[in-house]
Amino acid sequence: MTDLLWHLLTQPPGAPGSARARYAAAMALHGAGALTWRELEAYREATAFDAQDPACVLQDRGLRPPVARPLAAAALLALLLAEIDRYLATRAGPGIAEVRGALAPAFQAAIRPGTNPPNLVAETCLPAALAALERDDPALARAIAAAAPHLGWTGYDAYDPSAIGPVFPRSHAFGSLVGAAAPVAARDFDLGLFLIAPRVLYRDHAHAAPELYVPLTGPHRWRFAPGAAFRERPAHGPVWNPPHRPHAIVTGDVPFLAIFAWTRDVEAPAYVIPAPDWAAYEA
Ligand SMILES: [Fe+2]
């Protein structure tokens, strides 16, 4: 717990709410005897503005700023879980309440970081996606960046290769945070992050699982009927897919990065639905 408080205390200034989070951590550390009264006063003075760097206030008072302390993988994953829940609380629409309700038990679950084989899509696409997200939600972007090496990025391999086509399998990756085989264990519920490279068609598909996507980058184009016109949707607009609803995505110029959740029937594999116009988007 102390490591987490020091981590919060040494986060870069600027993110909305960061000054209050820093001061809360400072009060807890002061209560534990780890910060002096003068140091706590410096953090109180810096509480008024998120962009105020408390290191400057400390130095003005002749005090030494604390050194950032690296967190263990489990703590980084716990922080990401809290950040995703905090972010979802700012979104509105179908599926948000269902997912947050299903996510609640995860906060009591043990966190078990697993192995993390290299993944080319995550390595090449995540930095650009997080640079875009940093402008909108720096706290979430930093939480994802810090936890990303522990998310076990891999591809979804349940599709018939001849149906999904050759491009999507080598252009996407997902990192599970909550689920049966994820760092945070859950039964019949999956939540994590989903990446697709720029300018890729994720062919029309469906699945038994009700699904929430909250894209963190955008715009990207979507459709919900095979062969229909694609329509642009901005970043941060949730998409709720009831069971077996067809959906397809054409990603834009920025890598597609989304929070995904399947709220039940997660063992039933997704399936591709034929459409006559794939070649036009895969040329
Ligand atoms: Fe889906």
Q: pLDDT, tens digit, for every residue of 201-232?
A: 999 999 999 999 999 999 999 999 999 999 99
205 CA from centroid of ligand 1 (Å): 7
Same domain, 79 and 16: no
229 CA from centroid of ligand 1 (Å): 18
pLDDT at site 262: 98
107 CA from centroid of ligand 1 (Å): 25
Return residues with CB closer than 5 A to ligand 1 (ion): 211
d(CA 211, CA 156): 15
Domain-embedded: residue 91: yes
CATH of residue 117:
2.60.120.10
Does the structure show a pLDDT above 80 at 2? Answer: no
* Residue 244 confidence class, pLDDT cut points 50, 70, 90: very high
58 CA from centroid of ligand 1 (Å): 49
The structure's pTM equals 0.87
Same domain, 180 and 78: yes
Q: What is the mean pLDDT of the chain?
A: 93
* Residue 10 confidence class, pLDDT cut points 50, 70, 90: confident
Same domain, 174 and 41: no
Does the structure show a pLDDT above 80 at 1? Answer: no
Domain-embedded: residue 168: yes
Q: What are the backbone angles phi and psi of residue 234, rounded to the nearest 5°? A: -80, 170
pLDDT at site 259: 98
49 CA from centroid of ligand 1 (Å): 41
* Residue 117 confidence class, pLDDT cut points 50, 70, 90: confident
234 CA from centroid of ligand 1 (Å): 18
* Residue 5 confidence class, pLDDT cut points 50, 70, 90: confident
Does the structure show a pLDDT above 90 at 275? Answer: yes
pLDDT at site 82: 93
Domain-embedded: residue 67: no
202 CA from centroid of ligand 1 (Å): 10
**What are the start-end ranges of the E strands in the chain?**
172-178, 190-196, 201-206, 211-215, 220-223, 231-233, 239-241, 247-250, 256-262, 271-272
87 CA from centroid of ligand 1 (Å): 21
Number of domains in the chain: 2
Most distant pair of Cα atoms in the chain: their distance: 70
207 CA from centroid of ligand 1 (Å): 7
246 CA from centroid of ligand 1 (Å): 8
For residue 24, the enclosing domain spans 2-60
Same domain, 143 and 215: yes
Same domain, 163 and 275: yes
Q: What SS3 class is residue 259?
A: strand
Same domain, 12 and 148: no
206 CA from centroid of ligand 1 (Å): 6
Give me the mean pLDDT over the 167-171 stretch: 96
Amino acid at 86: R
DSSP 8-state secondary structure symbol assigned to residue 251: -
Residue given tokens 């019949």 in the structure block: 188
Same domain, 109 and 201: yes
Structure tokens at 278: 């794939």
Q: Is the peptide bond before 198 cis (omega within 30 degrees of 0)?
A: no
Same domain, 39 and 83: no
d(CA 151, CA 138): 19
Same domain, 145 and 50: no
54 CA from centroid of ligand 1 (Å): 44
pLDDT top residue among 94 and 67: 94
Tell me the pLDDT tens digit for each residue of 180-199: 989 999 999 999 999 999 99
pLDDT at site 171: 97
Same domain, 49 and 101: no
Domain-embedded: residue 65: no
Domain-embedded: residue 176: yes
76 CA from centroid of ligand 1 (Å): 27
Give me the mean pLDDT over the 129-138 stretch: 95
Does the structure show a pLDDT above 70 at 233? Answer: yes
Give me the mean pLDDT over the 47-70 stretch: 87
268 CA from centroid of ligand 1 (Å): 12
Domain-embedded: residue 114: yes
CA angle 133, 202, 198 (to 5 degrees): 40
